[in-house]
Structure 1
């Protein structure tokens, strides 16, 4: 082929590709999946937990914190972001413990993760080695509904997944009205681990079928969580993370996609798969619930808790796999109000191993026009290592 003609063809194809990308973004379509930022390229002095993305690395830190009931400052020097990399006796001990747990699983369970930090620590910095008579003979704590599992011989009277999900859809307003909501925008207040008890303005934007953005206006800047249907990003305003924005991967990405899709609950049956029921009786805040379990796209279990009386969703429990174990994320829904003929929750409480946050909405508007840029990657520049 003539070299000049070949060059013109390549240039033309590149131009067409660029135009298609611009058109896709203008129409609010998801951009190609982004390669996640690696923790090894961001943090210094990583010796054991290598090869993880930034979000996987931070999730693993959260797992350790939950297993030992400790926070960052108890293992790290937290005077500045740079000091996090300094070695401390507890960091050195943690590395040894991680290697020990990995060796236990490899030697005894064929490498399958059967033992984790939590297996022994149980939210205590020092594992107990002596039985507690108070625990043995005292009143046992109430069952945690999050820990319910389907028994080997489930009750034959349990409702089917379709029955519970259909009741939920009807309680919200019915499938036809749900389908009529294609976008919404909300405003309210946010309070969480990063606000020291203060409340800050928050905005939520969502567009069917699977785009959602939450913007919290903190003192340190806007903390943004965005999902465009294929990619998801978090900014780090209000934290000591040395990256202004990072993409989510693995279970964190699947969780963000799930949250975006379930913003439009008429598609709940398609969002998850492998639905199951048959759990023991349970209650949340003295409200009896029906528990349904599905699986996400990465085959991680997801539990949903529907109030028996109203049929409304009270809680969603999903998990993210980390280098050391599963991290739970719990979302509680409350204060359902009518918005264009559909009941929508005005209070959302998110609890995970790194903290808890509550959003209380003061307004929700349905079927509003939302700029496609709201679901694009938030602005940020590549940082230097701390």
Structure 2
């Protein structure tokens, strides 16, 4: 599902870009035919965020938006919404953001040994201007609920990870039935943030860890593919300033996790450092949280219904220069397909978008052509 990342997590509005750099050139500059492209190789006027991949750059834009509650044109020039080249123009907000990035980096380097313990969100908390006065109602009122998506330590006395994961496989239909699923194809619809209509969706997955989703948007097809090793997103120019971007870091690992969750029989082996977090709730349902890390060291949290054992939520975290970026997927509407329960509804939420996916039909163990999992080509414009 990512995005970011991502599987089913595809960006809706081109990117919530707040300062620190700028958006696309009038024409895409030369870039490697394959491999990760750096932000300054693709965008103009990148100053404070040089040296990071394009997908991480876009994650950073989302982090600015999440921290300040602002969107693209709040920080960029007002007419940037219809012209990618305008995102390169400087504004007072962008200049301020560059100084803030430098300030946060200096603080983390000087006080925390380079660990990103202070982020934009640490102070802003969704506000354009950080609050400086104490809130007495907050001080003497009920404590705010703990966000279950925050990273937590292991909880003594809880069930073991194996017990929770085994219960999950049994809830799906049993270990043998789950292992017998070798491919999944699905058709349905999706609605992105601020969309006024549903658009068609196709899902293709092949064991052990290949996955492609195609969103047939009004502007053209948006495709996210993980081939078992690499991941890409191809999007129309009306939605993204680049036709194809290769995922890196946490976004790449996130695409792999999304693919593996289609065939969860391999989940135990795919992740490491399993530990059980505190009990919590998701949408008023009690959940048991299990945390693990990908082979590259990125954290993944899985939320299992305490009663049924089914997976209700996954959260994964990628890095950015201004802190960890969460990508969350909620699962519901489980239906049995060939004796195995499949979540027909998935809601992907990240720092610069939210998309609801609803599958209408799912088939398993059908032939899926290998061409479904190759690097996608730049999408053709939608027909008028």
Q: TM-score range by the shorter chain?
A: 0.7 to 0.9
Q: Where does residue 130 of structure 1 map in the other structure?
A: 133
> Where does the alignment leave 5 or more consecutive residues of structure 2 unmatched?
1-32, 380-384
2:253/2:298 contact within 8 Å kept: no
Query: 1:204-244: per-residue Cα shift (whole Å, max 9, x none)?
Result: 00000111001000111001111001110011226453311
Matched, 1:237 2:240: no
Equivalent positions of 1:345-360 (< 5 A) are 345-360=343-358
> Where does the alignment leave 5 or more consecutive residues of structure 1 unmatched?
1-32, 382-386
2:39/2:49 contact within 8 Å kept: no
Equivalent positions of 1:1-386 (< 5 A) are 34-77=34-77, 78=80, 79-147=82-150, 149-150=152-153, 154-156=155-157, 158-193=158-193, 196-237=195-236, 239-277=238-276, 279-380=277-378
2:288/2:306 contact within 8 Å kept: yes
Offset of residue 140 of structure 1: 3.0
1:215/1:222 contact within 8 Å kept: yes
Superposed CA RMSD in Å reads 1.6
> So what's the TM-score if we normalise by structure 1?
0.86
Offset of residue 296 of structure 1: 1.1
3-state SS in 2 of match to 1:118: helix
1:347/1:361 contact within 8 Å kept: yes
2:235/2:378 contact within 8 Å kept: no
3-state SS in 2 of match to 1:96: helix
Offset of residue 285 of structure 1: 1.7
Offset of residue 110 of structure 1: 2.5
Number of aligned residue pairs: give it.
Answer: 344
The structure in which a higher percent of residues are helix is: 1
3-state SS in 1 of match to 2:149: helix
1:81/1:240 contact within 8 Å kept: no
Query: 1:317-340: per-residue Cα shift (whole Å, max 9, x none)?
Result: 110101111000111100100001
> So what's the TM-score if we normalise by structure 2?
0.86
2:54/2:245 contact within 8 Å kept: yes
2:236/2:378 contact within 8 Å kept: no
